[in-house]
Amino acid sequence: QVQLAESGGGLVQAGGSLRLSCAASVIAFSRYNMAWYRQAPGKQRELVAFITRDGITNYEDSVKGRFTISRKNAKNSVDLQMNSLRPEDTARYYCNILNNDKDWGQGTQVTVSS
């Protein structure tokens, strides 16, 4: 079982930046591939980015070159740096173990105004 706490969301103008953080309470955090997801109103939750336990990263096409996922195993945390934000990035953002479809946290709301 894992407990997740996301933070760092907010309201930002298009072109702005935000840094999301996720604190994970789980044994052996460094062994897990971690991910950020987002869910916009009326849409399904989608995978935004993930980082493997070896530090390999992968991004959804629309965020490539704008978002950067990173992790700090010593702090059981995973961050998402979001630059050049667009209105279509507006969503609630969640972190989780990659492909874990349970144990979701509250998420953090990101709203990008045009």
Q: What is the pLDDT of residues 40-94, one digit of tens each?
A: 999 999 999 999 999 999 999 999 999 999 999 999 999 999 999 999 999 999 9
The CA distance from 112 to 76, in Å, is 28
Whether pLDDT at 99 is above 90: yes
Q: Which of 95, 68, 101, 94 is nearest to 83 (CA)?
A: 68
Determine the pLDDT at residue 1. Answer: 84
What separation in angstroms does the CA of 45 have from each of 2, 48, 59, 61, 95? 19, 9, 15, 15, 11
Q: Which of 94, 69, 74 is nearest to 29 (CA)?
A: 74
Determine the pLDDT at residue 45. Answer: 97
The CA distance from 96 to 84, in Å, is 24
Summary mean pLDDT of the chain? 97
**pLDDT average, residue stretch 5-18:** 98
Q: What are phi and psi of 109, to 5 degrees?
A: -85, 130
Q: Which two tokens stand for residue 40?
A: 């916009």
Percent of the chain at pLDDT above 70?
Answer: 100
Single-letter amino acid, residue 32: Y
> For residues 111 and 10, is the Cβ–Cβ distance under 8 A?
yes
